[in-house]
């Protein structure tokens, strides 16, 4: 691979998805993009890379999707979902009692496992939610992943990564070699194509945002920008979930960790009040 070819692909990925790829991760290009090259009848990665300078929208999009597609599991890390059930949900039931509705966002939802895990938690808690209107929205930049998410079809490997067997029996049907999640669960989630780097306002407001294991792929300024954007679609008492290896510390003053609830962040009221005033260091 020529160094200037690497610079071109790195720039494309950064601009289109925020993904930061460093030369030590060049092997990822090989494993993710060789299939794309083959599909296009190109000899290999090098030929694909040198064609990118003049490539059309289709190819640029396909390359970006191939590089940003990430693994997803049902009930990934378990704990965030236990916290949601035992702490976040009771809080929402109290604070939203008057309007009986709230919205959850699974940002960069990939093939939908996180959004569906939340839907299953809510379905299991249905007895506590009579008359409630709860929306779950999953967004991703990948067409392919969103199609898979909408179909709700998962391989035997996928349904065994994190999904308790009781929930498999209850909410999935075997469809030849694949497992399909029940239509009642699918109906609880809307999937939409959306880029986290764009203006998020069209998505509306979200009371709880799951943005786990997304920021790790971004550089510092992009992380700050995404957190800033996310904060603008949350009410003052909204909650943000980040992945186990992620933090807001030193990245954004919009959020602060919720004491004793690892991985959950609330809006920093001081910073929220200063919205638009341009306070860079206030509230830290």
Partner 1 sequence: MKSCLIVDDSKVIRMVAKKILRELSFDTDEAEDGQRALDICKANMPDAVLLDWNMPVMNGIEFLKELRKLPGGDHPVVVFCTTENDIDHIQAAITAGANEYIMKPFDSEILQTKFSQVGLL
Using CB under 8 A, list all residues that contact partner 1. Answer: 73, 78, 156-157, 160-162, 164-166, 168-169, 173-174
Task: Classify strands 101-107 and 133-140 as parallel, antiparallel or unpaired.
Answer: parallel
Cβ burial of 32 (10 Å; 0-12, 13-18, 19+) is middle
Q: Which residues have CB under 8 Å from 73's CB, separation 6+?
A: 113, 158, 161, 162
Q: How far is the CB of 157 from partner 1 (least distance, A)?
A: 7
Cα angle for residues 14, 19, 20 (degrees, 5° grid): 80
Q: Which is nearer to partner 1, 81 or 191 (CB)?
A: 81
CB of 98 to partner 1, least distance (A): 37
Closest approach, Cβ 254 to partner 1, in A, equals 33
For residues 146 and 148, what is the distance between their CA atoms, to the nearest angstrom?
A: 5
The token pair at 164 is: 């308790």
We find the least distance from the C-beta atom of residue 118 to partner 1, in angstroms, to be 17
Residue number with CB closer to partner 1 (244 or 283): 244
Decide whether 97 or 169 has the Cβ nearer to partner 1: 169
Smallest gap, in angstroms, from Cβ of residue 154 to partner 1? Answer: 12
Residue number, 160 or 279, with CB nearest to partner 1: 160
Give the strand pairing for 239-242 and 189-193: unpaired
CA 219 to mean position of chain CA atoms: 17
- Tell me which residue of 241, 185, 226, 230 sits closest to 204, measured CA to CA: 230
Q: CB neighbours (10 Å) of residue 171?
A: 21
Return all residues near 123 (Cβ < 8 A) that are at least 6 apart: 171, 184, 185, 188
Please identify, using beta-carbon distances, which residue of 74 and 105 lies nearer to partner 1: 74
Residue 8 or 178 having the CB closest to partner 1: 178
| Minimum CB distance to partner 1, residue 252 (Å) | 32
């Amino acid at each position: 691979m020529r160094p200037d070819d690497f610079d071109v692909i790195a720039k494309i990925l950064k601009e289109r998805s925020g993904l930061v790829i460093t030369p030590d991760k060049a092997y990822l290009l090989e494993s993710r993009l060789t299939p794309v090259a083959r599909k296009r009848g190109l000899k290999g990665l090098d030929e694909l890379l040198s064609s990118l300078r003049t490539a059309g929208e289709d190819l640029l999009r396909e390359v970006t999707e191939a590089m940003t597609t990430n693994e997803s599991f049902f009930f990934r890390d378990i704990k965030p979902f236990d916290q949601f059930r035992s702490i976040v949900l009771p809080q929402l039931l109290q604070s939203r009692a008057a309007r009986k509705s709230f919205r959850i966002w699974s940002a960069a939802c990939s093939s939908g496992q996180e959004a569906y895990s939340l839907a299953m938690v809510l379905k299991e808690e249905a007895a506590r939610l009579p008359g409630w209107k709860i929306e779950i929205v999953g967004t991703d930049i990948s067409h392919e992943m969103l199609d898979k998410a909408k179909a709700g079809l998962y391989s035997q490997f996928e349904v065994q990564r994190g999904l308790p067997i009781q929930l498999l029996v209850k909410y999935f049907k075997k469809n030849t070699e694949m497992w399909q999640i029940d239509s009642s669960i699918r109906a609880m989630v809307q999937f939409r194509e959306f880029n986290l780097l764009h203006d998020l306002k069209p998505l509306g407001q979200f009371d709880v945002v799951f943005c786990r294991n997304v920021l790790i792929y971004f550089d510092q300024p992009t992380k700050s920008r995404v957190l800033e954007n996310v904060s603008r679609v949350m009410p003052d008492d909204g909650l943000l979930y980040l992945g186990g290896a992620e933090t807001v510390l030193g990245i954004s003053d919009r959020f602060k960790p919720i004491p004793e609830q690892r991985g959950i962040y609330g809006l920093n009221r001081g910073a929220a009040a200063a919205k638009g005033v341009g306070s860079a260091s206030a509230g830290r």
